[in-house]
Chains A and B, each alone.
Chain A
Amino acid sequence: MHISWKKLAIALAVLPFVVVLAAWIGFFNVGASSGHWKITEWFLHFAMQSAVRTYALAVDVPAALPRHAIQPAAGHFARGCAICHGAPGEPRSPVVERMLPQPPDLAGSGEWTDAQLFRIVKHGVRFTGMPAWPTQERDDEVWAMVAFLRELPSMDEATYRDLAYGKRLARPADAAGTLRQVLADCARCHGEDGLGRGPAIPVLAGQSEAYLLESLRAYAQGGRTSGMMGLPATAAGPQFWPDLAKHFAALPSTQPGGAGDPALVRRGREIAERGVREASVPACLGCHGRRDRSPLYPSIAGQPERYIEAQLGLFRAGKRGGTRFGHLMANASKGLADDDIRALAAYFSLSATPTATGMQSAR
């Protein structure tokens, strides 16, 4: 049979219309029950794996995964991920197994590199049920999740349940009914005592009530972006925020112990009291030092070192929102060097709450 170039061109021009027509009359079966055609399935997987591999080339991998932060990652995994991917002691629901494509059991996530896992967790995967991370600003949270996923295949049930739920052995309630339920959800990461279950979690016990309330509002309304805190703050619901803030503000804080690196602590104290004039960094204690300052300025004395370091880094990068006062810290931290941040974290993590001395001045 002879096909002229002209006929071929006409056929190619008509083809898109035929496809649209077929879709319009409902020719294509979109049911998940029968699965993809073999070729479609092959192509989708091929395209997905290739894209993850290629886009992961642009990911900046930290020197070490933040293993200190796997506890909140586990807490978030229990809320957002386990429902589809399962968890130690929590097999995937039969409902989920009928999804197309079926979410993988993460016991076998070893085939991806750290950068590829980061790419998948941060951006999600199109044409699957895999969502993107709730915010694109918090790479630190995504890396914490990657660190957790690396541990997950070898994690036993008891370890997982302790990380994700603490003493409470209940699943988090998505639509919370009572303050007790909401508090139990908070305690999974913040602890019943509000001191935080690990170095990545801030101390809420004894924190200013006004600041806690405004922070919950900021998390829920997106002023302070966080995948891990945005969801629970929203899930708790505004009617519980004032009680939550009151509850944690009333818990007793503990005096920090330890000595730290004396030179680092001394430098941190100097910046806290006097600022860094050449870099336009104001003295921290002008706002954070005393009880007679605005209750919207949080107490940072006694917060975990790693937490302070992470927050100052986020402020400096312009990625740490906050209350209506958050921009003051974005401005104040612009001139901080990495060493300054480490020094401040060392100083404040060891200083008592609150410092009565306040700021000093060269004059």
Chain B
Amino acid sequence: MGRYFSLSAASLLLASGHAGARSVLEPVGEEAQQIAVLFWVMLSGGALIWLGVVALLLHAALFKRHGMNERSASRIILWGGVVFPSVTLCALLAYALWLMPGLRPFTQAMGSTALRIEITGRQFWWEVVYHPPQGPPVTSANEIRLPVGERVELTLKSADVIHSFWIPPLGGKMDMIPGRTNRLSLLATKPGAFRGPCAEYCGTSHALMAFSAVAMEPEAFRSWLAGQANPAESAGASGGALFLRHGCGSCHFVAGTDARGLIGPDLSHLGSRITVGAGILPNTEDAIARFIARPELIKPGSRMPAFDMLPPDDIRAIAAWLRGLQ
């Protein structure tokens, strides 16, 4: 049984990862772009130097049959061993330092017009709170959406252990450290959906802690955010009543209902997310039902207790209701 579950969880993981996974070498964000350029500069520079050194080595081994005099040897050591590395390394350092302000929002004026997203790492999920310039904060979980072409400030925190925030094609990594607030800025240049993994080992289910990142056109983003600020309406009302009846609201918050818990992920608009279980399962009723029944099979070490003692019909009704919270 356990084997079946873990195998199917792994295959789903691959399936869901396939859709939005992109590499650091295909940047669609300004920060990731700069880092990619830095990487290519470093790589090609390193390759050139390596080729030069190998060429010199071959030259010395094959053609230079007798030693140099002391004077020219010293000159080679001075130019090739001191001056050239110092100049090259200083240039690279200057280039890297020159890139840094773009990656560190506190070195430039962000202005109060920018959107700020507060992300808190928890074992093993992400709490996401949008602070738009106007209007009340909007809480979500395990999915981060941001407008294309607008700089967004991220404040990164942790509630338990060290996590690390990373959206490879957009930017990061930056550690989330308990008791500290780290800041990162991102500017997405193209729309798309990506997978963001936790990039610092944080416990049993570290490898199963991820989120979906979605870069949207600004207009679409704003109407999406406005929709998130209001309670969702779901068709399966009986599932909603069962959700409260079995006490799910002790840990989970669902806007517009009596479910006011703050321990687990906010489920107000669960149905609109790409994945469930923090980036590991496709968002289907079946996946939600499986998570409710045996969370520890899907996410070992999860704080959520198993609910497989509920009647299967109740679990299905709750899953359908949650899936309908668009």
Q: Are A293 and B262 in contact (CB under 8 A)?
A: no
- What's the nearest-Cβ distance from chain B to residue A249, in Å? 18
Interface members, chain B 154-203 (any A CB < 8 Å):
159
| B139 within 8 A of partner (CB) | yes
List chain A residues, Cβ under 8 A from B249.
286, 359
| B246 within 8 A of partner (CB) | yes
Nearest opposing residue in chain B for A293, CB measure: B245
Identify the A interface with B (CB < 8 A).
Answer: 274-275, 277-278, 280-287, 292-294, 297, 324-325, 327-328, 330-332, 358-363
| B101 within 8 A of partner (CB) | no
A293-B245, A294-B245, A331-B303 known; A282-B251 Cβ under 8 A:
yes
19 A–B contact pairs at CB < 8 A?
A274-B262, A277-B263, A280-B263, A281-B263, A282-B251, A282-B261, A283-B260, A286-B248, A286-B260, A286-B261, A292-B245, A297-B247, A325-B309, A330-B305, A359-B258, A359-B260, A359-B261, A361-B261, A363-B262
Q: Are B250 and A287 in contact (CB under 8 A)?
A: yes
A275-B262, A327-B306 known; A292-B247 Cβ under 8 A:
no
Nearest opposing residue in chain A for B255, CB measure: A363
Closest A-B pairs by Cβ, 8 of them? A286-B250, A287-B247, A361-B260, A282-B250, A324-B309, A331-B305, A282-B251, A286-B249
Main secondary structure of the interface of B (DSSP, over half): loop
| B21 within 8 A of partner (CB) | no
Interface members, chain B 235-265 (any A CB < 8 Å):
244-251, 253, 258-263
List chain B residues, Cβ under 8 A from A292.
244-245
- What's the nearest-Cβ distance from chain A to residue B101, in Å? 35
A275-B262, A359-B260 known; A280-B303 Cβ under 8 A:
yes
Task: A331 to B250: give the CA distance in the assembly, Å.
Answer: 12
Task: A324 to B293: give the CA distance in the assembly, Å.
Answer: 13
Q: Are A359 and B306 in contact (CB under 8 A)?
A: no
Q: Are A283 and B303 in contact (CB under 8 A)?
A: no
List chain A residues, Cβ under 8 A from B309.
324-325
Task: A178 to B297: give the CA distance in the assembly, Å.
Answer: 47
Q: Are A363 and B253 in contact (CB under 8 A)?
A: yes
Q: Are B246 and A294 in contact (CB under 8 A)?
A: yes
A327-B305, A361-B253, A363-B253 known; A294-B247 Cβ under 8 A:
yes
Other A-B contacts than A293-B244, A293-B246, A331-B305, 20 sampled, CB-CB below 8 A, are: A280-B263, A281-B263, A284-B250, A286-B247, A286-B260, A287-B250, A292-B244, A292-B245, A293-B245, A294-B246, A294-B247, A327-B306, A328-B247, A330-B305, A332-B250, A359-B249, A360-B260, A363-B253, A363-B260, A363-B262
List chain B residues, Cβ under 8 A from A284.
250
Task: A292 to B244: give the CA distance in the assembly, Å.
Answer: 9
Task: A359 to B253: give the CA distance in the assembly, Å.
Answer: 11
Task: A245 to B159: give the CA distance in the assembly, Å.
Answer: 44
Nearest opposing residue in chain B for A331, CB measure: B305
Task: A2 to B253: give the CA distance in the assembly, Å.
Answer: 92
Nearest opposing residue in chain B for A325, CB measure: B309
Q: Are A286 and B251 in contact (CB under 8 A)?
A: yes
Per-position contact with A for B283-309: 1 when CB-CB < 8 Å, else 0? 000000000000000000001011001
Q: Are A275 and B244 in contact (CB under 8 A)?
A: no
Q: Are B262 and A277 in contact (CB under 8 A)?
A: yes
Q: Are A358 and B263 in contact (CB under 8 A)?
A: no
List chain A residues, Cβ under 8 A from B263.
275, 277, 280-282
Q: Are A275 and B261 in contact (CB under 8 A)?
A: yes
Task: A268 to B220: give the CA distance in the assembly, Å.
Answer: 45
Task: A206 to B248: give the CA distance in the assembly, Å.
Answer: 25
List chain B residues, Cβ under 8 A from A278.
159
Count chain A CB atoms within 10 A of each CB in B248, B253, B258, B260 and give the residue with the most. B260
Nearest opposing residue in chain B for A281, CB measure: B263
- What's the nearest-Cβ distance from chain A to residue B177, in Å? 16
Task: A285 to B309: give the CA distance in the assembly, Å.
Answer: 21
Q: Are A293 and B247 in contact (CB under 8 A)?
A: yes
Q: Are A328 and B305 in contact (CB under 8 A)?
A: yes
List chain A residues, Cβ under 8 A from B247.
286-287, 293-294, 297, 328
- What's the nearest-Cβ distance from chain A to residue B155, in Å? 18
- What's the nearest-Cβ distance from chain B to residue A297, in Å? 6
List chain A residues, Cβ under 8 A from B248.
286
List chain B residues, Cβ under 8 A from A294.
245-247
List chain A residues, Cβ under 8 A from B261.
275, 282-283, 286, 359, 361
A324-B309, A328-B305, A331-B303 known; A361-B262 Cβ under 8 A:
yes
Nearest opposing residue in chain B for A332, CB measure: B250
List chain B residues, Cβ under 8 A from A361.
253, 260-262
Q: Are B250 and A283 in contact (CB under 8 A)?
A: yes
Task: A330 to B306: give the CA distance in the assembly, Å.
Answer: 12
Q: Are B250 and A359 in contact (CB under 8 A)?
A: yes
List chain A residues, Cβ under 8 A from B251.
282, 286
- What's the nearest-Cβ distance from chain A to residue B138, in Å? 11
Nearest opposing residue in chain A for B307, CB measure: A328
List chain A residues, Cβ under 8 A from B303.
280, 331
Task: A278 to B303: give the CA distance in the assembly, Å.
Answer: 13
Q: Are A362 and B262 in contact (CB under 8 A)?
A: yes
Nearest opposing residue in chain B for A285, CB measure: B250
- What's the nearest-Cβ distance from chain B to residue A223, in Å? 11
Nearest opposing residue in chain A for B136, CB measure: A363
List chain A residues, Cβ under 8 A from B306.
327
List chain A residues, Cβ under 8 A from B260.
283, 286, 359-361, 363
Task: A330 to B303: give the CA distance in the assembly, Å.
Answer: 11
Nearest opposing residue in chain B for A282, CB measure: B250
Q: Are B253 and A275 in contact (CB under 8 A)?
A: no
- What's the nearest-Cβ distance from chain A to residue B226, in Å? 18
Task: A36 to B262: give the CA distance in the assembly, Å.
Answer: 67
Nearest opposing residue in chain B for A277, CB measure: B262
Task: A285 to B250: give the CA distance in the assembly, Å.
Answer: 7
- What's the nearest-Cβ distance from chain A to residue B125, in Å? 12
Task: A233 to B155: give the CA distance in the assembly, Å.
Answer: 56
- What's the nearest-Cβ distance from chain B to residue A355, in Å? 13
